[in-house]
Amino acid sequence: MSALPSYASTGQRIWHYTFRYVICGFILFFLIAPILTIIPLSFNSQNFFTFTPEMLSFDPAGYSLKHYRDFFTNADWQQALKNSFMIAPAATIISTVLGTLAAIGLSQSHVPFRRAIMAILISPMIVPLIISAAGMYFFYSRIGLQGTYLGVVLAHAVLGTPFVIITVTATLVGFDRSLVRAAASMGADPVTTFFKVQMPLIIPGVVSGALFAFITSFDEVVVVLFLGSAGQKTLPWQMFIGLREQISPTILAVATIMVGVSIVLLTILEMLRRRSERLRGLTPN
């Protein structure tokens, strides 16, 4: 069904289709092209960051999985991957618990200064990351957390918590609080009411926030450069070294894998968003 009404003028139709197919197409290309370019380059059989004549002529000899083999067999890359999978899940769990509790607490009408508290809690999203990292460095240095796994995990949890607060708060907007009162009137305690009534309805927002927190931690490099040591070197840190010191094409293979992981996570987010809308009655199905 066309979005244009039947009485639209010729000029309106020209502008509509120009904006829809030309301008939007150009913006989409501008955003996606740099990401898509690295995917074929990651299969380059040579140690180059450009398309070779063999690749441009689609010669099988121009393509190889050598950079992927290097990623899965190189000790430095595997240690960085291991660190990322140690730090990101731990930071995600802390962010999810704190962010969910904060969102539920701030959704109560009797809490004073709710807007001010919310602004403080989501400030890590607004403050430039280099400033947050410098502040954390001086604070963690005084309490002995600089250069430790716990310090990096807590720092990433601070960065991920705002995403959980925002997504859970958005889910709570459509939450029917009469359900909580009904559960209380039936004798359920607050903990039982939370896990049996409230949590199943807000779980899409909680999981969405957790996925955002995981992506934030898994892709973060500035804070870990300030707070981490060689023992806490994560995957983005190793990619940064690969660009700055080694010019290693393996980063193209790693970037391609991370793009694939991001696509999977975004697909899950979209599925959760649609489920949340169905539960809240915003869509017919």
The tens place of each residue's pLDDT in the chain, 285 residues long, gives: 456 777 888 888 888 888 888 999 999 998 888 888 888 888 888 877 778 888 888 888 888 888 899 888 888 889 999 999 999 999 999 999 999 999 988 888 888 888 888 888 888 888 888 898 999 999 998 898 888 899 999 999 999 999 999 988 888 877 777 888 888 888 888 888 888 888 888 888 888 889 889 989 988 888 888 888 878 888 888 888 877 776 777 888 888 888 888 888 888 878 877 776 776 665 544
Q: From residue 158, give the alpha-carbon distance in Å to each of 17, 99, 121.
A: 44, 10, 9
Cα torsion through 183, 187, 190, 195, rounded to 10: -60
210 close to 164: Cβ distance less than 8 angstroms: yes
Q: How high is the pLDDT of residue 102?
A: 92
Q: Which amino acid makes up residue 156?
A: H
Tokens 């359920």 found at: 188
Nearest to 212 by CA among 257, 268, 258: 268
- Residue 213: Cβ within 10 Å count: 28
CATH 1.10.3720.10 spans which residues of the chain?
75-280
Q: Which CATH architecture has domain 75-280?
A: Orthogonal Bundle (1.10)
Please give the model's pTM, rounded to 2 decimal places: 0.80
Say how far residue 243 (Cα) sits from the centre of its chain: 23
Q: Can you give the C-alpha Rg of the chain in angstroms? A: 24
The whole-angstrom separation of Cα 71 and Cα 257 is 10
The HSE-up count of residue 164 (CA atoms within 13 Å, CB side) is 31
Nearest to 249 by CA among 112, 12, 55: 55
The whole-angstrom separation of Cα 83 and Cα 166 is 28
